[in-house]
Structure 1
Amino acid sequence: MEILVYGIGGVGGYFGGKLAKAGYDVSMIARGKHLESIREKGLEVESINGNFTVHPKLATNNLSEVPTPDLVILGVKSWQVFEAAEAIKQIIGKNTMVLPLQNGASNAEKLMDVLPKKNVLGGLCRIIAFIDSPGKIKHPSIEPHVTFGELDNTKTARILQLKEIFDNAGVKCEIPEDIQLEIWKKFLYITTVSAIGGLTRVSIDEILQSDYLKDMMRKTAEEVLAVANKKGIALTREHVEKALKVAAQQPKGTTASTQRDIMEGKPSELENFNGYIVKEGEKCQISTPVNRLLYELVLPMEKEARKA
């Protein structure tokens, strides 16, 4: 099994590291000092489940060096998916599986704009991990979990094989009955907390101390629900309530990754979260005033970040 991990940040680094540790042939695409360190000393993972260091089969920034993969795991941000698809299309084979693990509801759609539909899977993950220093991934909390499936939810042989691969690597994983629903459930939560967090610049527990902001979160989620239902996604009001409950259960000081990007002046996933709901709402003739407000308020910061 030839595996390519495209993007060795927190997500790609952790899951790619676990697969390499399990003995799979893993190639890693990285850049700069991070790549140099992986080449020289291997990829170090500091994890609540045990620390380890792996030496991947190949670490490079040149895709022409990479053998045709059986599996590509995309570890980039959602706003980088289209660019990643353009890059990997030169090396994928007719049977290559491409697994996106980004936040966002439209990653598979973006991939299929560039790659054959038969190559694309649906996927998401739950993990808190990040680059701690060049060549080192830190996983400080949350049991990592990967969810994936065929876009039509059929239990194909390759999907069962993929589950076996993750099982062998000691990664908790699941093939759900409805992969699109699972993607949107996570998208609902992330979209509800991220932009508000970026604007207030405080943790989720502090946001929830305000009845006004709590109500704004609910309205944000309800707009996501309306757009999802119009698109045929089986989200329900119960999923909205659960997302709000999950937000309320977060430990003190918790912030969303997109919120942190906004606060640090980095390019964020704004377009793929609130921006996506605004644009899909227009297509579906669904009013999304709260998401529009959040999107427009953060957008000037987003444009500034992308000039850097």
Structure 2
Amino acid sequence: MKHKKSYLVFGAGAIGTTIAAWLNNADIQVNLFDKQKACDYINQYGVAVYLGEQPEKHYHAKIKAYSNLDEVPTPDVIVLCIKNYSLAGVSEQLVNKFGKEIPVVALQNGIENQQILPQYFDSVIYGVVCFNAWVDDFGKVGYQKKGPLALGHNGGVSVTEMNKIITDFNKGVETFNYPNLNDAVHSKIVINLTNSLTTLVALHKNDQSKSTAFQKLLTSMTYEGIQVMKAAGFKESKLGGMPSWLLITAARVLPCFITRKPYLKNLKKMVISSMAQDIIVNGGSTSELDSINGYVLSLAKKYGIKTPINDAIYKICQEEFVKSPFEPVTVDFIWQRVEST
């Protein structure tokens, strides 16, 4: 009888909870790790995930959750579903407990995980998450669509190990081996740039579908991002229904009324972002601003690409995200700052 791999999903946030539930539903052995309050709830009530368009239809799963690493049974694979800013501290704890040889699947936005994790683990698979999800409460998560996940690595992972993990994941959610890992990562970064803008205006609470100024800001951010990626030598990866670079470019250069329909279609897909959950929902001041927006601006400077919209919004975020409590700003406020630069 073949040995079934066991997985420890570290982080019971939006992505961690959905993936754990989907793997559990596929009869994959999976445990969760998070803070005690979240684990107490999950151990008592389980987790519930639902498709955003069908909030009345929940999938419930009973998954064991741990908050004490000493109590966690040794898994075959660790799935890291935490932010880049937590990776170093968490990785040190995991290596002390399980050793550096344990395979890791890292599901973070940006490129920073590729710089941090090889310092701790011998075998790291990186993933690009091509769907949005959000936390309603402990153990309750909504998702925009089910997958896909694009996995890849930079060496140190055998073909057999990679195939086994992808086979297991595919039982729960569409997952594929993507050979051009960094193209996929940077294509996702272009889309993630707008998390800063949608957080600033609290898009999940404040409808901007009638604002042409917001449309111009949003499309300009991603258009500038594309120019930076092209200059840096990265190619487009068409993953998981993300807007194509051609569509983004058209939305930037053509009159708003011509591109209005596809813009509104994509705007509806923009549920609350992970950055908004960090800043608004959780009331924190730490976010992925530097690892996403700051990173793109550093590339822009390196390759001589002008990014006035991203520059202005990055500076506003730096000012506003440290305020407690955070208060959303208006599109007019952002527009005035952009025009003054």
Matched with 2:320 is 301
Q: Which amino acid aligns with 2:167?
A: E
Output the CA distance in 2 between the equivalents of 1:154 and 1:233: 23
Q: How does 1:1-308 map to 2 (within 5 A)?
A: 1-41=5-45, 43-48=46-51, 51-56=59-64, 59-112=65-118, 114-116=119-121, 118-134=122-138, 136-151=139-154, 156-168=159-171, 170-191=172-193, 193-202=194-203, 207=208, 209-235=210-236, 239-243=244-248, 248-250=264-266, 252=268, 254-257=270-273, 258-259=275-276, 261-264=278-281, 265-267=283-285, 268-304=287-323
Return 5+ residue gaps in structure 2 as ranges: 52-56, 238-242, 252-258, 327-341
Name the CA shift for 1:90/1:227 in 2 (closer, same or farther; >3 Å): farther
Output the CA distance in 1 between the equivalents of 2:314 and 2:43: 40
Q: Is the 8 A contact 1:100 1:122 kept in 2?
A: yes
Give 1:225 deviation, angstroms.
Answer: 2.7
Output the CA distance in 2 between the equivalents of 1:89 and 1:155: 20
After superposition, the CA RMSD in angstroms is 3.4
Give 1:140 deviation, angstroms.
Answer: 4.7
Q: Which amino acid aligns with 2:79?
A: I
Give 1:66 deviation, angstroms.
Answer: 2.7
Q: Is the 8 A contact 1:204 1:255 kept in 2?
A: no
Q: Is the 8 A contact 2:124 2:156 kept in 1?
A: no
Give 1:186 deviation, angstroms.
Answer: 1.7
Name the CA shift for 1:188/1:17 in 2 (closer, same or farther; >3 Å): same
Return 5+ residue gaps in structure 1 as ranges: none
Give 1:198 deviation, angstroms.
Answer: 2.4
Name the CA shift for 1:87/1:176 in 2 (closer, same or farther; >3 Å): same
Give 1:161 deviation, angstroms.
Answer: 0.8
Q: Which amino acid aligns with 1:121?
A: I
Name the CA shift for 1:178/1:252 in 2 (closer, same or farther; >3 Å): closer
Name the CA shift for 1:68/1:164 in 2 (closer, same or farther; >3 Å): same
Q: Which amino acid aligns with 1:266?
A: G
Output the CA distance in 1 between the equivalents of 2:266 and 2:227: 25
Report the 3-state secondary structure (helix = DSSP H, G, I; strand = E; otherwise coil) of the residue aligned with 2:129.
Answer: strand
Name the CA shift for 1:173/1:122 in 2 (closer, same or farther; >3 Å): same
Q: Is the 8 A contact 2:125 2:153 kept in 1?
A: yes
Report which stretch shifted further, 97-106 or 181-190. 97-106
What is the TM-score with the length of structure 2 in the denominator? Answer: 0.74
Output the CA distance in 2 between the equivalents of 1:305 and 1:279: 28
Q: Which amino acid aligns with 1:55?
A: I
What is the TM-score with the length of structure 1 in the denominator? Answer: 0.81
Give 1:77 deviation, angstroms.
Answer: 2.5
Aligned residues: 299
Instruction: Report sequence identity in percent.
Output: 21
Name the CA shift for 1:87/1:306 in 2 (closer, same or farther; >3 Å): farther
Output the CA distance in 2 between the equivalents of 1:174 and 1:166: 9
Name the CA shift for 1:66/1:275 in 2 (closer, same or farther; >3 Å): same
